[in-house]
Structure 1
Amino acid sequence: MKFRFAPALLLGLAACAPKSETTPAAAPQVVAITTSDFAFSYPDTIAPGFTTFRVTNEGSQDHHVILGRLEQGKTLQDLMAFMKENPAAEPPFLTWRGAAGALAAGQTVDGATVDLPAGNYVLMCFLLDPADQMPHLLKGMMREIAVAGTPVNAQAPQAHAEIHMKDFAFDAPQLTAGTHVFHVVNDGPQTHEIQLIRLNEGASVQDFMAAMAPDAKGPPPAVMMGGPGAYSAGLDAYWTTTLTPGHYIFVCFVPDVGSGMPHLMKGMVHEFTIAAS
């Protein structure tokens, strides 16, 4: 719609009219989540609206926080029953809404900033216990969280750049040292995630990929640095992260719908180096 300038009389009347008071939008609310072996600690209920997940890993193992929104009428028990009967399928009544990628023990990172609609959600950790290869969610890291109440009066962060995810690649800008705010978009059609990984000094992408093989021994030569988590197709979020000099990769560990193969094995790896200034 196009607007024209009003006549001077109308402008004068408008100047005399009482001004409406509006509350400026605030920064997104911050929800603190603590992970341990094998539990989450967090508020039972959070308000709808823009929310930043700040995660601290107090465990001895890597953990991530993957957030899923249940369709109305569905419960955690419904989700558990579906996953038991269909271990390789995505639940059709769940949408992935981010939260935070895997991070190493002792770290605190900001994960995603997400505009959360009201509803019932589930937090999960899919990572495997190295001792018995059992997913953490089967050891207690699968819990409900409610998004309800008065929405927060917050707006989206101002993004510096965009990162797009698709089958099976990342479209990312040239990355430099410093703090960045990314608008992260899943162009789909499958679910995707961004997992930030810092490779150990002297390690290559090939070394990391070899360590991901089913018969590999020992941990990969890398440190899990978090990320904005996983998203269903068409969804987006914001992610603030600080990059220091080093050798990094973005990867997607989400399994392929058809083959069950992790997306990184289908080429969803983005390598980059942050040079010292």
Structure 2
Amino acid sequence: MSIGMLGTLSACRDVPNTNANTNASANAGADVSVTVRAGAIVAPDTVRPGWARVRVDEADGEHIVVVFRLPTTTTAADVPAFVAALDTAPATPRPAVAVGGPEVGSRGDVIVHLTPGVYVLACVRRGDDGHRHAYGGESRIVHVRAGQPGDSTFAAPPPSTQAVRLIDFAFVGPDEWAPGPALLRIETTGPQDHQLRLARLRDGASVQAWMAADDPDTVAATIAGMARVGAGQVAYLPIDLTRGTYIAYCVVADVATKRPHVELGMLRMIHVP
């Protein structure tokens, strides 16, 4: 894969989000609404435990907001230390766990499981200065507590229409997916963090051309993305597929080599007939 392409893949491209209002997610429960803008994240202080649809709106710029679960003893005073560690670490700093987030388009939603405890919403996209946006203020502590007013959740996981497992370093699942709206169940069996980005090859393009391209947008259009999901975690991503050939890939950095997982084989072709 070319160096130019890797630079482009490491950023969240501002593409139209085709997965925000699919039928598969229409009855998935109430939203936990998050707004992110340069230097700040706005979100509820407290939400209920359960399966929650986290909806992220980007007020300006491009962002990748991830939901991180932290130890229950975490306080607001502890968040700067976590953000500083996140800024330099290739993986989620322990004992925090990444539970997912949308990462394609100016608006997106994912469904994640929130157990009672302390969470931090943090933007992991890097700016021109090399720091993650969270380092510049884009982080927010959220408490998950039972019996609280405000945004609600739902007890049972939503019914998925397709499933894929993320392992070191491959996507495990069928090579053929059905067209139309779907809810993709994503499970990381790790042990590293992984993500799933889904790009549709343009007519006549090949995966070899995509791998070699300096500008991947000339070869494939990225349509959906689930940000990093830690080992043992399950999250759901609404997607809407048209006929064609897709590429699922992961550019999270390997802990040992610092190379993106796609270079280590974490890439899979998906056919939608």
TM-score normalised per structure 1: 0.74
Structure 1 match to 2:166: 165
Structure 2 match to 1:128: 126
Q: Give the 5 Å matches for 1:1-277.
A: 27-61=28-62, 63-74=63-74, 75-83=78-86, 87-100=89-102, 102-105=103-106, 108-111=107-110, 113-129=111-127, 131-150=128-147, 152-173=153-174, 174-200=176-202, 203-210=205-212, 220-221=217-218, 222-275=220-273
Distance in 2 separating the partners of 1:193 and 1:50:
19
Structure 1 match to 2:23: none
8 A Cα contact 1:29 1:50, kept in partner: no
Distance in 1 separating the partners of 2:254 and 2:144:
29
8 A Cα contact 2:53 2:153, kept in partner: no
1:204 Cα deviation from its structure 2 partner: 4.0
Q: Which amino acid aligns with 1:76?
A: V
Q: Which amino acid aligns with 2:53?
A: T
Q: Between Structure 1 and Structure 2, how many residues are aligned?
A: 238
Distance in 1 separating the partners of 2:198 and 2:60:
19
Distance in 2 separating the partners of 1:82 and 1:263:
21
CA displacement 1:57-77 (0-9 Å, x = unmatched): 34343x222111011223312
1:40 Cα deviation from its structure 2 partner: 2.7
Residues 90 and 128 (structure 1), Cα distance of their counterparts in 2 relative to 1, 3 Å cut:
closer
1:48 Cα deviation from its structure 2 partner: 1.0
Residues 89 and 114 (structure 1), Cα distance of their counterparts in 2 relative to 1, 3 Å cut:
closer
Aligned to 2:81, what secondary structure does the other structure show?
helix
Percent sequence identity is 32
Q: Which runs of 5+ in 2 are unaligned?
A: 1-26
CA displacement 1:236-273 (0-9 Å, x = unmatched): 12332211234432211211111111111111112224
Residues 104 and 210 (structure 1), Cα distance of their counterparts in 2 relative to 1, 3 Å cut:
farther
CA displacement 1:147-197 (0-9 Å, x = unmatched): 223274532111223211101110122112111123221121212111223
8 A Cα contact 1:64 1:226, kept in partner: no
Task: Select between 193-202 and 174-183 the one with higher mean Cα deviation.
Answer: 193-202
Aligned to 2:190, what secondary structure does the other structure show?
coil
1:95 Cα deviation from its structure 2 partner: 0.8
CA displacement 1:65-116 (0-9 Å, x = unmatched): 21110112233123134346x534541110111122x2134xx3322x2221
8 A Cα contact 2:162 2:177, kept in partner: no
TM-score normalised per structure 2: 0.75
Distance in 1 separating the partners of 2:28 and 2:92:
33
Distance in 2 separating the partners of 1:37 and 1:198:
29
1:27 Cα deviation from its structure 2 partner: 4.7
Distance in 1 separating the partners of 2:246 and 2:266:
14
Higher relative contact order (CA 8 A, sep 6+): 2
CA displacement 1:191-245 (0-9 Å, x = unmatched): 211122344555543444345xxxx5x6744444333332221221233221123
- Please report the RMSD computed on the Cα atoms of aligned residues, expressed in angstroms: 2.7
1:124 Cα deviation from its structure 2 partner: 1.9
